[in-house]
Structure formats: structure tokens, C-alpha cells
Amino acid sequence: MMEQHGKNDWLCDCQHALLLPVLIQHLLFHKCLDVLEETISYKFEDRLLLQVITVHVMCLLISRQI
């Protein structure tokens, strides 16, 4: 039978493994925002504004496809 400590280690490993795709997606999103700013030759002072705009536009595009 597994010790209690071993079970907790396994649970932590699983939780970290589940967070990896979220972290990677987050980093890719921010890299895409960098590329967008380079493409349009404009640097947003308020990066949150750019994030909100792109997320809302994506949501509109996805909802039209359904």
C-alpha cells in the first residue's frame, strides 16, 4: 500500500501536469500579441486593452461560426 506522502507527491505532479497546457497557451497568446504589435507598428501603452480587444473579437468570430 502507498504511503500518504507518496499519494500527495503523485497528486502534485498531476496538478502541475494539468497546468502546463494552460501556461503554454498563455505564453503563446502573449507572443502573438507581440507579433501583432510589430505587424501594425504600434506599441500599446495599456497591454490589457489589447488583450481585451483580441479576446472579444475572437469570441465574436467563434460565435458566428456556430
- C-alpha cell of residue 46: 495599456
In the predicted model, is pLDDT for residue 19 greater than 90?
Answer: no
For residue 63, what pLDDT band results from cuts at 50, 70 and 90? confident
For residue 62, what pLDDT band results from cuts at 50, 70 and 90? confident
- Give yes or no for a contact between 53 and 36, defined as CB atoms under 8 angstroms apart: no
In the predicted model, is pLDDT for residue 23 greater than 70?
Answer: yes
CA 43 – CA 33 distance, rounded (Å): 10
**Stated pTM of the model:** 0.65
CA 7 – CA 18 distance, rounded (Å): 17
C-alpha triplet 30, 37, 62: angle, nearest 5°: 60
